[in-house]
Amino acid sequence: MANSIIAQLKQKYLTGSIVEKLIFINVLIFVLTFFVGGLVQLLHYSDNFFWRWFALSAYLPEFFNKPWTLVSFGFLHADFFHLLFNMLYLNFIGRLFLDYFIPKKLLNFYLFGTLSGGLLFLLTYNLIPSLQNTPAILLGASAGVMAIMIGITTHIPNYELRIPLIGYVKIWIIAAIFIAIDLISITDNTGGRFAHLGGALYGFLAIYYKDSLSFQNPFKGWFAKKNTLKTSYKNSTKNQKNHAKNNQETQQKIDVILDKISKSGYESLSKEEKEFLFQQGKNR
């Protein structure tokens, strides 16, 4: 029975979309986390193995000892409802994202959005005086999910989503509400709020600059492109005019030679006229 369930879950994972795979991984890690947490309590240890090794700490020396936590925290959740709401958001917005982008891009947004959220969390707790030396850890998929949401919103801001009991609402309005909630509630769960904003920032920049892996200078080549197009257009038009003029002159010369042949015969042509007519025959 257990083997059958495991086989079904494995098949579901292998055939699922990238969104379903991410949800599967998050749920599996959540189950393992709390299973290990239960064992820890039975053995009277003071902390959870997963949280200790994979949650992101605001304390820089601890982070430098565990740099992988800059991404691994995005697969941990504090409790069932934390997991539930993040996975519901991921499933809903992730499916829409896949209507416009390939699965690899969604994975990039999830991972790099998580990384961006983690970086802003670290900067916040180590640069803002009132938060310095405050013990804090970060966990949850929210930063990655926020990156996906803001990314698709930037791509199709006027897309309308149907909200139960409300009706159709443009996606940019929903995204703006999420951002506003984070800004208004910045003193409540400060680290989490900044992580959300970090993920949102990545989602916006990655789509705005059309590159989810690098942030290039948006002004690079703008003027060069305009000048190139303008010059190319002028040159092309000039060449077309010159070509048409040459064709017209050639045709007029051919007409004169043919008229001479009709009146006096081929033998009346000069050597140059015969060679010219021969070349034109080859070209045609």
User: What are the tens digits of pLDDT across the range 195-239?
Assistant: 999 999 999 999 988 744 444 444 444 444 444 444 444 444 555
In the numeric block, which tokens belong to residue 153? Answer: 């919103």
Radius of gyration of the chain (CA): 33
CA angle 207, 211, 213 (to 5 degrees): 120
Question: pLDDT at position 158, please?
Answer: 94
Question: pLDDT at position 226, please?
Answer: 44
Question: pLDDT at position 221, please?
Answer: 44
Specify the length of the chain in residues. 284
Tell me the pTM: 0.70
Question: pLDDT at position 238, please?
Answer: 53
Residue of 18, 211, 29, 30 whose CA lies nearest to 112: 211
Quote the distance between the C-alpha of residue 152 and its chain's center: 8
* Residues 29, 36 contacting (CB under 8 angstroms): no
* Residues 86, 178 contacting (CB under 8 angstroms): no
Burial class (CB in 10 A: 0-12, 13-18, 19+), 60: exposed
For all residues of the chain together, what is the average pLDDT?
A: 82
* Residues 56, 63 contacting (CB under 8 angstroms): yes
Question: pLDDT at position 39, please?
Answer: 73
Determine the Cα–Cα distance for residues 117 and 52; give it in Å rounded to an integer.
Answer: 19
Give the helix/strand (H/E) hosting 182: helix 171-184
Residue of 181, 172, 122 whose CA lies nearest to 151: 172
pLDDT < 70 positions in the chain? 1-3, 40-47, 211-248, 259-269, 277-278, 280-284
Determine the Cα–Cα distance for residues 196 and 112; give it in Å rounded to an integer.
Answer: 12
Question: pLDDT at position 219, please?
Answer: 41
Determine the Cα–Cα distance for residues 91 and 245; give it in Å rounded to an integer.
Answer: 64
